[in-house]
Structure 1
């Protein structure tokens, strides 16, 4: 294979790894871009092609299926067809002839010697440009929404069952919107000053509708700035940053973050402490290194310690009633993150929700023993499924009658029930769930 690196060749190489080999899109793409010499504009194009193609994979496959008349044997062809179809159907500024020309070049570059793959690709794409978009009959609501919004059938049915057709349409459409560039401002520095500096740097910042310590930027690249490197802010979704705010903290608490990596919430809690401290757990030492790096960058490393422990076995490593505050930001299906991680929609199933529920309950069962009598336990997920959210709360309370839900009030939002679910179309944030528990009496 040729080593020529263009925006489209890097995008295609990434898509082959993601769609054919099961790699993670963000890791594969970031690694490819780091080793390339692409301009910023070309890096942006490669990123758009990768995420757009993955995001609309079901829709794009539907467009191509009737046009593919022969068996595809070479690994690169389907990703190339999908990527090219994405450009034809979504990128109005790219002429169709340019898409076909680039597709032919890539077919020759990625194909085997003397391969006729480029003729196959060329024929299918020309047929697509002649025919244009097709969609299922709207009377078949599930199939229509599945194709139109590129979501698996099971997830469309699940959303309709729980939220009805109209809200499902809104949720699905929101998942295909561009994810916001959301950052959280450190509470250890003057946040107004940070906001002004962001303006000077051309980020056109706007305060989040969920909190005043979260800011939405008009473009990415903030991690390369001095503001980020000096710990004035950190990349964190506005919904995720609410979790730490749910705790009542005076500053002297001993806190456990049971599922901490990469450390965003650990750091946020540590910023509110003076004499207190946070113990951050994760199974993998590599991930704990990220927690320590984040704590160092944000100026709270003196309040954070890490321990390589499976949270399901936390009770074997710590004393009963050792902690004043415990956070379980549990491993979950990530269905609230479909904007940022589009491939999740193709890899998760209903069975995953139930399997993850068991892990989530095992973690809660373990850490419940470690909370002191005046303590607070917060459970959160970046999913919107009832199995991983409300059902987990229900089962935990049934197994632990000494616990009860505790209402909480945040800066711009409140929960009288002690549970808060943020759907992705409500604020344009990630989908998120938060529950707060206290010991009875």
Structure 2
């Protein structure tokens, strides 16, 4: 059998990734790691990524189309075909690819899947989508009922807006490395390359690009002048705001974006970066090296809660806990979260977050600060977590954060997905007596 043409190969790869994620509980990131290197052309790799993200964000609408248009629903044995139809719908609906390319390559992919007898049905369904458009569907339908109930309980007035935002593509946020470039200069470089970007009025290093693109195409990225980091994540450096030359701990550092941001602002910081995963800590080292701030950083692969294994007893002026969390604030960037997250996961995460807070508080110097941050929108992980910590920790007080950090949420602040184009994020700043 001849190898499929490039256009067919990319649709086939996307369908196989989606089938694994939708029907076999696999992670999108893990499937990409396996599938993308098999595609030689970087444009094909980018297309597969774009298709899969769009299909997962739009799966409620695409499921509604199949339910409404098919006399007989697809069965379990047709799971690969369902994934391929989502691939076709995503090209037509979200990516707006030329009709002939989207339909023809997807029909050929059906044949390559061994579904020649169903290729005519694929063609008919995709052409109907072209004629009629995809039916509307409530974005809430993509959320598991238990998680949807919790979101609506925590954010009753904002729930519809955040659910809608979580089903849309996010803009590309960049952070300018102030050690090697000014933001104005970086903006001019982007404009000279034909890339439209805007400077954020409050975040001093932030640039926003509405359309996604390969980082390799960003002028200055390879040289470390630019990094990809959402605006809400960039705000963590403002929440921590360590004094010049401070001794700083980044307790859950990987993949290193926040540590790099802090050091780009002040290379004199004495920063210790920890992570429990050695592979992710290597990524942190690579990140710091790329932006040129790796000279005076201590990197250790440890469980941050086991102080005796790594801490020398010298307290830190500032501690950042970017805690492991449900990631419910970044569903638009990781849409498979909604397929994989289980109620027991939240209980385990809440327990881990509490252990981190309790274990690391003794390492904060008197008068020092600890910033607790998550990319969650759940009160259990955020406002309730901090309220409980303050109730059991006599020498901890919360310091107010202003409107830059979102809605008041207990002793902290919560930005919700899509607000000012940013991801959902929680921040709390605590001072030690």
Distance 1:25 1:356 in 2: 21
Specify which of 98, 106, 122 is matched with residue 109 of structure 2. 106
Structure-1 residue corresponding to 2:158: 167
Is the contact between residue 320 and residue 369 of structure 1 (CA under 8 Å) also seen in structure 2? Answer: no
**Is residue 285 from structure 1 mapped to residue 285 from structure 2 by the alignment?**
no
Per-residue CA shift, 1:9-51, capped at 9, x if unaligned?
23223223322443332453365444424373x5554333211
Q: Which stretches in structure 1 are left out of the alignment for 5+ residues?
A: 137-143
Distance 2:346 2:74 in 1: 37
In structure 2, the residue corresponding to 1:239 is in which secondary structure?
helix
**What is the deviation of 1:216?**
0.7
**What is the deviation of 1:315?**
4.8
Structure-1 residue corresponding to 2:301: 308
Distance 2:431 2:83 in 1: 50
Structure-1 residue corresponding to 2:18: 15
Is the contact between residue 252 and residue 304 of structure 2 (CA under 8 Å) also seen in structure 1? Answer: yes
CA RMSD of aligned residues (A): 3.1
**What is the deviation of 1:64?**
1.7
Is the contact between residue 407 and residue 416 of structure 1 (CA under 8 Å) also seen in structure 2? Answer: no
**What is the deviation of 1:293?**
1.0
Distance 1:321 1:419 in 2: 28
Change (3 A) 1:131 1:397: same
Is the contact between residue 328 and residue 376 of structure 2 (CA under 8 Å) also seen in structure 1? Answer: yes
**What is the deviation of 1:124?**
6.3
In structure 1, the residue corresponding to 2:311 is in which secondary structure?
coil
Distance 1:208 1:278 in 2: 27
Specify which of 236, 243, 247 is matched with residue 243 of structure 1. 236
**Is residue 397 from structure 1 mapped to residue 399 from structure 2 by the alignment?**
no
Change (3 A) 1:338 1:411: closer
Per-residue CA shift, 1:333-356, capped at 9, x if unaligned?
101111111111221234322221
Distance 2:352 2:405 in 1: 32
Distance 1:214 1:129 in 2: 38
Change (3 A) 1:49 1:207: same
**Is residue 208 from structure 1 mapped to residue 211 from structure 2 by the alignment?**
no
**Is residue 25 from structure 1 mapped to residue 19 from structure 2 by the alignment?**
no
**Is residue 325 from structure 1 mapped to residue 318 from structure 2 by the alignment?**
yes
**What is the deviation of 1:170?**
1.3
Tell me whether 82-91 or 180-189 shows the greater mean CA deviation. Answer: 82-91
Q: Which stretches in structure 2 are left out of the alignment for 5+ residues?
A: none
Structure-2 residue corresponding to 1:179: 170
**What is the deviation of 1:188?**
1.4
Structure-2 residue corresponding to 1:81: 85
Per-residue CA shift, 1:71-116, capped at 9, x if unaligned?
3425522211222344455566544x7655444321221127xx74
Structure-1 residue corresponding to 2:379: 386
**What is the deviation of 1:263?**
0.4
Distance 1:8 1:268 in 2: 37
Specify which of 153, 173, 190 is matched with residue 198 of structure 1. 190
Change (3 A) 1:126 1:243: closer
Distance 2:333 2:86 in 1: 19
**Is residue 364 from structure 1 mapped to residue 357 from structure 2 by the alignment?**
yes
Distance 1:25 1:416 in 2: 31
Structure-2 residue corresponding to 1:139: none
Structure-2 residue corresponding to 1:351: 344
Change (3 A) 1:323 1:410: farther
Distance 2:125 2:104 in 1: 13
Change (3 A) 1:304 1:425: same
In structure 1, the residue corresponding to 2:306 is in which secondary structure?
helix
Distance 2:126 2:217 in 1: 39
Change (3 A) 1:391 1:37: same
Distance 2:167 2:112 in 1: 31
Is the contact between residue 408 and residue 414 of structure 1 (CA under 8 Å) also seen in structure 2? Answer: no
Distance 1:404 1:48 in 2: 44
